Amino acid sequence: MQNIQANSGEDELIRLLLKRQSELNSLLEVTRAINKNTPTPILVQMLEVILKSYLQIGKFRFLIENNGNFTCISKYGGEIESPVTLNNTWSHLSKIKSPAPLVSHADPLLSSYNYFIPIYHKNKALAYALIGDFDISGDMLNNDLNFVQTLMNVIVVALENKKLFRERLQAERFQREMELAVEVQNMLVPVREYKEDGIAVDAKYQPHQDIGGDYFDFFRLNESEFLWCVADVSGKGISAALLMANFQASLHGLLAIENDLTTVVERLNKIVLRNTKGDRFITLFLAKYNSHTRKLNYINAGHNPTIVYAQGEVVSLKLGTTMIGAFEELPFLNEGEIDIDPGSLIFNYTDGLMDYEVQNVKIWSEEKLLEFVKTNGDLSPDNFNQALMKYISQVVKGKPIDDITLLTLRIA
């Protein structure tokens, strides 16, 4: 009799050792697969094979946390519940922190399962499993439940690492895209100062973010004519910078073959509309000055009006059209023309100059800007821009909500 009991004990020990060896082999295989960066569906498939073939688990649901909800990534056996129904089970289980039986649970769905196994990390629930059709008891029960929990934990950690790796790659890719967009934007910004006989130019550019949606340009067309442009694209970021790069290329290309501002703006409207499908638009002020005739021709396309100061008086240049890129055909288009007196100051800007997080219109408004230009219009372009930015920083309490571009010209 004692020999029979001894043999029975030895058999149980051998069975336990073989079971532990099988568990270690299973964990080793899963770990190797993880180290080889095996795709998630294959890892889940390996888990299901182990549970079905090795542990004889007939019904299984494996849910992982995803932005506050739980998504089922593995399910087999029994009648498959709807995703919403499964997700709602967490509200009944959130206070249970260790493997627990479910057979007598008050919720009828949960009571159809044998056990609940949660995965936590620093008090945060990462995943949980529902196990059913699992007929085992005694000392081996705790061992099997702990093994399932360990196996799930290894896979959950692997999935979390995959997620972090993807997020890191995405962040690095975004950072590189931002760097490229900044390079693109820097290419759009010409020399900030320009001086020669008869004209002096100074520009200030202050992006609201790393990448802004403002654009300005100034260049000589021929021996007697200069052209400049100030523009603002709706939206910000990489797409805005790329749209502005395309806009600059289109503008320069058109000006190489076309001298009429009205035609240039009409064609620009079609180009922007074609490129953006109406999802974005651009406001701009485009001007051409002839030093021989002293005529300034301009088109204001829905932009902040340029201000001309001469002999103590100021004039706002508002003639033009609506924003470009919003309509198939511009509803109206009026080209303005004025004579420029010697010594005139021409001030161009974008709407970031006027828009602040906290703004008191009694302190800062278009009327106040006109008063400032009238008071300081005799300053050189660079001193004028510096004085304006200093004045705003003193009187306006708040941060700008958009890019700020200043382009100021003095015409002798």
DSSP for 144-180 reads HHHHHHHHHHHHHHHHHHHHHHHHHHHHHHHHHHHHH
Least confident stretch, 212-216, 250-254, 287-291:
212-216
What pLDDT score does 242 carry?
78
pLDDT at 271: 94
Of 15-29, 139-153, 246-260, 375-389, which range is least confident?
15-29
Highest mean pLDDT among 102-106, 178-182, 209-213, 344-348: 344-348
CA distance 241 to 215: 9
Alpha helix (H) residue ranges in 36-76: 40-49
With cut-offs at 50, 70 and 90, classify the pLDDT of residue 214: confident
Mean per-residue pLDDT, 328-340: 96
Mean pLDDT of 364-376: 93
Q: Note the pLDDT of residue 99.
A: 92
Structure tokens at 88: 């709602």
The closest of 180, 256, 250 to 215, measured between CA atoms, is 250
pTM score: 0.60
| Per-residue pLDDT at 34 | 84
CATH architecture of 2-167: 2-Layer Sandwich (3.30)
* CATH of region 189-411, choose from 3.90.105.10, 2.90.10.10, 3.40.718.10, 3.60.40.10: 3.60.40.10
Task: Give the highest mean pLDDT range of 65-74, 80-89, 329-338, 392-401.
Answer: 329-338
> Where in the chain are the domains?
2-167, 189-411
Pairing relationship of beta strands 225-233 and 214-220 according to DSSP bridges: antiparallel
In the DSSP assignment, the letter for residue 262 is H
Q: What is the mean pLDDT of residues 198-205?
A: 91
Q: Per-residue confidence at 166, pLDDT binned at 50, 70, 90?
A: confident
Query: pLDDT: is 140 or 293 the higher one?
Result: 293
Continuous segment of H or E residues that includes residue 239: helix 237-257
Q: What is the pLDDT of residue 28?
A: 83
CB 72 within 8 A of CB 90: no
Judged against a pLDDT cut of 90, whether residue 202 lies above it is answered with yes
